[in-house]
Amino acid sequence: NDNEPQPVQELRPEPPEWLSEDATIIWNALADQLTPLQLLTVIDKPAFGRYCEVFSQWLKAKIFLEKHGQSYPLYGMTDVLNDDGSVQIKPDGEPARKRFIKAVNQYPQVGIFKALSAELRALEGEFGMTPSSRSKIIVDKDKVKENPRSRKEKFKYKQRG
């Protein structure tokens, strides 16, 4: 769009002060790639900051699900029965009991992960971070420059706690 307002920017914008530590790691890893393409300017800081926060929360949910799986059992207790159907009694006079799985529940992180995935898809499209969204972006290659503050840092997400 030739009439689109173009914020002027030479340097990569710094992350907003309100970003969490984990979201700042994500910002630093991705901003150097988006800035030279003019997909991240100072005016985009709030929207990209939200993307980084959502991505951070999505990663936390993903790590939880990788560690614990998607569901957990709920246990109940029942009496142990003899062959004749009577309740077995332990030597101390108490009825013998055994644990059983009465239901399997989904961790809340499954729903969180799915909701954040949908939000990420929408935000990624705004910043040209999917093949489909990039195919719709027209960039003047003469204006694309190497970011002078470019960092060659790899994206590493550290799990806390």
Joined tokens for residue 122: 């929408």
Q: Is the pTM of this model over 0.75?
A: no
State the pLDDT confidence band at 149, using cuts at 50, 70 and 90.
very low
Handedness of CA 67, 69, 72, 73 (dihedral sign): negative
What is the three-class DSSP state of 24?
helix
Q: Where are the beta strands (DSSP E) in the chain?
A: 71-79, 97-106
What is the three-class DSSP state of 98?
strand
Which amino acid, one-letter code, is at 136? K
Q: Where are the beta strands (DSSP E) in 49-88?
A: 71-79
Q: Cα separation of 77 and 116, whole Å?
A: 37
Average pLDDT value for residue range 135-158: 55
Q: Cα separation of 46 and 84, whole Å?
A: 70
Q: What does the pLDDT read at residue 133? A: 80
Q: What does the pLDDT read at residue 96? A: 95
